[in-house]
Every structure is written in structure tokens, then in C-alpha cells.
Structure 1
Amino acid sequence: MVFQPIEIWGHWGAPNPWKVCIILEELGLPYMIHQLEFSDVKAESYVKLNPNGRLPTIKDPNTGITLWESGAIILYLIEQYDNDYKFSFKSLPKKHLTQQWLAFQISGQGPYFGQATWFARFHSEKLKSAIDRYVDEIFRVTDVLNRALEINGTGWLVGDKITYADLSFVTWASVGRGLLKELNKDAGLEKYPKYMAWMKAMESRDAVGKIQSSMAKGRTAHGL
């Protein structure tokens, strides 16, 4: 079946839109990116698409749906287009365990890694206590993932294959690693060998490498 390109609204350096793009790439779906500046997301034209005024948003002409929130978008793309269950599972308990890890990414990784980046790079004053708190959260989340990978023992979070849950962690993990390097704390990641091997396995994939390269260029160009 030939699909029309899915439209996605994002930003050159924002991890959440690129997270969705990884799923689009892995599923082999055509898509078109509308890159916005952060100042544009409160414009009336965009708020009509996404009343929360955040990125990403997608519009799928194949089904007519407009959807926002990266986790909801990923679940939609998987349910709608991963018909062969290449990156998901059909039955219990793996189906819900995969959803569990996506929920952890949304609530546990993205927000904390984002706050660490904000307080270390962009806040108007350097608050050591805030920076320390959120950098500690980067390591805590990394430890959770490392332990889970040790327990599962396959190199992946659920079952014996890569899923959308694994892939959802890539972009923010890259941002976190870059921040730790900037703060001279990246050596701390060596304590988590399962996590590091997991990231290496994902970043070696063509789709992931393509998106990681685009995001890195965008973040550099926009001072992120």
C-alpha cells in the first residue's frame, strides 16, 4: 500500500519530535517535517492544531487524524502501521510491558533530562542544587534502565527484540550524554554497561543514525 506523507511539526533540535521521526523511519513511512522556532508554537495557526502549544504534532492524511503528545503519537503509529508487530507485541504480557516502558520514558526520562539541560545551560542563574538534583536524576534513570536490561537479559527492555519502547529513549539519552560530557560527568555512565551496549546497538541502526545526525546538526545550529 502506498501511503501519503504524514506531516509532523517539530523543531530542529527538540528531542521529542525527533523521537517520533525515529519511529516513522523504522516503520518506513513517508513524512514531511514542518520545522518551527519555539516562539512559533504559541501562534494561533499552530495552537489550532495543538492547543497545548508544544511539539510535536502530527497530521496523518491517510486516516485524517491530528494528534499531539509524543507518546500518544508513537502508540498511534505502532497500532496503525506496525501490522507485522516488528516493533511491538500482539499479546499479553509483553504488549503492556512495552507500553509501561514508553510511559516511563515520557514521565521519567524526558522531563528530568530536560530539566537538567535547562538548569545547566539556560536558566538565568546557576543554581547548583537544581543542576545537581536533575543530573542525579539522569544517573538514576540510567540505573533503572541498566537494571531492567540486566534482568531481561536479551539486550532489550521487553522480550527478545527491539521495540518502540527501546527506541523512544534514544533522543533524550543522546541529549543527556552530551550534557554529562559538558559537565565532565560522562565517565559516570561507564557504571552502566548494559545501558551503554543497548544504546550502541540502537545507534548503529540506519534509521536511528539518520535522525541522530539531523538532531545533532539542529541542536548545534540553534545553540542547544
Structure 2
Amino acid sequence: MSKPIVLYSHATGPNPWKVAIVLEELKIPYTSKFIDFADLKKPPFEKVNINGRVPAIEDPNTGITLSESGAIIEYLQETYDKNNTLNYTSSPEKYLVKQWLHFQMSGQGPYFGQAVWFTKFHSEMIKSAQDRYLNEIKRVLSVLDRHLEGKQYLVGDKATIADLAFVTWDTMIGRIFGERGNEINIEKDYPNYYAWDQRITARPAVKKIIADRQAAMASAKH
């Protein structure tokens, strides 16, 4: 029996919950250790991740300490997914999964994150900045929607780590647009993406983590 992996997380940040989804999907024992934003840049946690960001993991079964959500997800799949239920072993599918995982990390994550910053937290409400990143969300959705034409999943005939990596940022689209929600109609404007998102979020492990995150966010407010 594997010893539980320690997942360093935060209640609101989407990236640690990407890792939690993969842990749940693969039924890997783990415990979540929530770190306050104020403590991320302090020496105790910087010994775990010098960059002062979550997620990070400590795996007592292999002795590795690892940060960066994409790297962690690939590590978990390669180390614990012995039957490759969430990946492929042959080309081109093996590399197409990496392609879409990297698109999530380089395209979806940063653009969605900047949209959150400029619509919710920046000291000045700069419409041009908001417009840029809200439009980038639409562009990312369009890329996924066009790719998913006639497809159930991003690669091949099953959900992979690439599909799962998009979930936690996608759940924030309504919150990000907020009062500007009338500018986007996902079901109508991106029907292939919408069907895929419904398919992925119906998975038991994904539903559990979405609920766990909502509970953690509610608890953090009190």
C-alpha cells in the first residue's frame, strides 16, 4: 500500500485542484495541506518550492518533491498509472496528449489567470486589459471547440490527463466574466467544447474534486 502523497494546495487557486483530480482518478492516496497566500513566499514553504507557488507534492514512496502542475500531473501518470488509463503509450497519441497538456499550461492557464487579475484584483479597472484577456478566453474556447468537432475527447477515444487539466480553470469562466456574462454563451457559441466539458465534469472523480474545492472555498471565507 502506497504512503499518502502530500499535496500542497490552496482553497481558491485552480492549479492544485488539477493535481487533485488526477490523484482521485488514479485512486492514489494523498493528503492536502492548504497554504495561505501570505505564507507561500516564506522560507518554510520555499523549501518545498523555491518559486513560492502551489501546487507542489512530496511523495514519500519515491522521495521526490515536485512543483509545477503539468510536471506533477505527468509524474503521477507515469509513476502510478500502470495501465495507462489516462494516457497513451504509442505515437502519435502519446505526444498529442503532451501537446494539449502544454496548451493548457501555456494558453488556458495564463490567459484565464490574467483575466481573473484584471477583472477582480487589479487596483485599477482597466477596460483594455480586461477586454484583452476576456477575448483570449474566447479564443481558447474557440480553439478547443474547433478541435473537438466530431470528437469525444482531445486525443483518441478516452479521457486523458490533457482533458482533465482544463477542468478547474473552466469552472471559473462564469465568475471571471461576472457582470459581463452576457458577452458569452458557451452552450450556443462553443457547442463542441460545451459537450466535452459536460462529459468530463460528469466523471465521479472530477465531481468529487469540484465539490471539495467549493467546500474549501466556502470554509476559507469564514
**TM-score normalized by the length of structure 2:** 0.95
Counterpart position of 2:82: 83
- Bigger Cα displacement from structure 2, 169-178 vs 11-20: 169-178
Checking the alignment, whether the CA contact within 8 Å between 1:177 and 1:186 is kept in structure 2 is no
Structure 2, unmatched stretches of 5+, are none
Counterpart position of 2:185: 188
SS of 2:70's equivalent in the other structure is: helix
Counterpart position of 2:211: 213
Counterpart residue identity of residue 202, structure 1: I
Distance 1:33 1:182 in 2: 33
Percent identity, aligned pairs only, is 50
Distance 1:126 1:181 in 2: 14
Checking the alignment, whether the CA contact within 8 Å between 2:154 and 2:163 is kept in structure 1 is yes
Distance 2:154 2:118 in 1: 30
Checking the alignment, whether the CA contact within 8 Å between 1:170 and 1:199 is kept in structure 2 is yes
SS of 1:124's equivalent in the other structure is: coil
Listed as ranges, the matches of 1:124-139 within 5 Å are 124-139=123-138
Counterpart position of 2:199: 201
- Bigger Cα displacement from structure 2, 102-111 vs 207-216: 207-216
Counterpart position of 2:147: 148
Tell me by how many angstroms 1:205 deviates.
1.0
CA offsets 1:26-81 (integer angstroms, 9 cap, x no match)? 00001000001111101101101100111110000111100000000000001101
Segments ≥4 residues shifted beyond 3 Å: 217-223
Superposition RMSD in Å: 1.3
Counterpart position of 1:36: 35
Distance 1:184 1:12 in 2: 24
Tell me by how many angstroms 1:184 deviates.
1.9
Listed as ranges, the matches of 1:1-150 within 5 Å are 2-150=1-149
Counterpart residue identity of residue 110, structure 2: P
SS of 1:162's equivalent in the other structure is: coil
Structure 1, unmatched stretches of 5+, are none
Distance 2:51 2:131 in 1: 29
Tell me by how many angstroms 1:11 deviates.
0.2
Tell me by how many angstroms 1:177 deviates.
3.1
Counterpart residue identity of residue 218, structure 1: A
Distance 1:112 1:217 in 2: 26
Tell me by how many angstroms 1:188 deviates.
2.7
Checking the alignment, whether the CA contact within 8 Å between 1:101 and 1:165 is kept in structure 2 is yes
1:172 to 147, 169, 176: 169
Shift of the 54–80 alpha-carbon distance from structure 1 to 2, 3 Å rule, reads: same
Give aligned pairs, total.
Answer: 220
Distance 2:179 2:10 in 1: 22
